[in-house]
């Protein structure tokens, strides 16, 4: 992170969490600054030589107006402005720690609000969607509701770019081949997350995800938000939908104050990266 020394002198505690199988390594750097570089994130993400994750998140101290600040890394070491399921996991951890039922979190995306939704579920407001081509961003001006790509996908920004294809059967799409083909499409200068979405009913979607910088994942919060927004804009669903992913279900509500996402989280275990391991990544 900018301004931090890259010297590693001690072990580094972490938490492993997941939201519907979308899994995260969480480093709590509120009390002591943590040194995370893209190379370290990529090494920690290796599922044989490290721990493995879809995203790594660093929790930094908040301000007078926020409870914490979050920084997200993808498995390839790149950064992301948003990660909905990681935000929900951290919100649940902080609620359990503090006893609060509502939190304010800051990210590169902006300020996000979280709340306890009851029954062990956690909600996060991912903010208003970005619908203009320049905000997503796309490489040139165009209608984001119907891109000039085979399948006429919808482009949406949720602090990171998304490309949503509506298909008859999401299960039959070879996502490992389909996803990277569009992640690197020239219309997306910053690459994109790719979703294949099947409308099951007026308020029900089945979706599968290829995440930018990660690959096929069991779930994605920002992708779920983007898909719900795309479906509502197309007139395929209402603004409140249930989205079934490979790892479970999220409930999305595109409300006046932003896109709310609600679902389950799990704190799996706590661990410590040894100094020996961290030094091997520099």
Work out whether strand 121-125 and strand 258-263 pair parallel, antiparallel, or are unpaired: antiparallel
Work out whether strand 102-107 and strand 68-74 pair parallel, antiparallel, or are unpaired: parallel
Cα separation values, 278 from 8, 38, 75, 153, 258, Å: 7, 12, 16, 41, 39
Give percent above pLDDT 70 in the chain: 97
Cα separation values, 100 from 69, 89, 95, 103, 104, Å: 17, 14, 5, 7, 11
pLDDT band with cut points at 50, 70 and 90 for residue 8: very low
pLDDT score recorded for residue 107: 93
Tell me what the pLDDT averaged over the chain comes to.
94
Domain with CATH 3.10.310.10 in the chain: 12-126+265-280, 154-256
Please tell me the distance from the alpha carbon of residue 104 to that of residue 125, in angstroms, as a whole number. 10
Contact 181, 163 (CB under 8 A): no
Whether 4 has a pLDDT exceeding 50, the answer reads no
pLDDT band with cut points at 50, 70 and 90 for residue 111: very high
Helices 221-234 + 84-98 axis angle, to 10: 120
Q: What is the pTM of this model?
A: 0.90
pLDDT score recorded for residue 47: 95
Return all residues near 213 (Cβ < 8 A) that are at least 6 apart.
Answer: 74, 75, 76, 77, 78, 80, 191
Whether 1 has a pLDDT exceeding 50, the answer reads no
Please tell me the distance from the alpha carbon of residue 150 to that of residue 127, in angstroms, as a whole number. 29
CB atoms within 10 A of CB 258: 19
Fold (topology level) of 154-256? Diaminopimelate Epimerase; Chain A, domain 1 (3.10.310)
The string of pLDDT tens digits covering residues 43-63 is 999 999 999 999 999 999 999
Write down the CATH number for the domain with range 12-126+265-280.
3.10.310.10
The string of pLDDT tens digits covering residues 13-35 is 999 999 999 999 999 999 999 98
Contact 127, 105 (CB under 8 A): no
pLDDT band with cut points at 50, 70 and 90 for residue 41: very high
């Amino acid at each position: 992170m900018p301004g931090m020394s890259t010297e590693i002198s001690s072990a580094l505690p972490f938490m492993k969490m997941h939201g519907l199988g979308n899994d995260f390594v969480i480093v709590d750097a509120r009390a002591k600054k943590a040194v995370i570089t893209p190379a370290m994130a990529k090494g920690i993400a290796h599922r044989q030589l490290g721990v493995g994750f879809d995203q790594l998140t660093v929790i930094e101290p908040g301000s007078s107006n926020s409870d914490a600040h979050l920084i997200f890394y993808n498995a390839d070491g790149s950064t992301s402005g948003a990660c909905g399921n990681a935000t929900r996991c951290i919100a649940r951890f902080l609620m359990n720690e503090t006893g609060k039922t509502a939190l304010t979190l800051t990210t590169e995306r902006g300020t996000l609000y979280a709340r306890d939704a009851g029954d062990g579920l956690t909600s996060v407001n991912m903010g208003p969607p970005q619908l203009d081509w320049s905000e997503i961003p796309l490489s040139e001006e165009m209608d984001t509701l119907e891109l000039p790509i085979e399948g006429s996908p919808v482009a949406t920004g949720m602090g990171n770019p998304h490309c949503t294809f509506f298909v008859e059967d999401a299960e039959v799409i070879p996502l490992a081949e389909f996803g990277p083909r569009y992640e690197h499409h020239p219309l997306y200068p910053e690459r994109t997350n790719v979703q294949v979405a099947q409308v099951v009913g007026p308020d029900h979607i089945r979706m599968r995800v290829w995440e930018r910088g990660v690959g096929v994942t069991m779930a994605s919060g920002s992708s779920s938000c983007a898909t719900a927004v795309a479906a509502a804009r197309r007139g395929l669903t209402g603004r409140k939908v249930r989205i079934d992913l490979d790892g479970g279900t999220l409930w999305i509500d595109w409300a006046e104050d932003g896109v709310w996402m609600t679902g389950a989280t799990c704190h799996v275990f706590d661990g410590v990266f040894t100094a020996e391991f961290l030094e091997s990544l520099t």
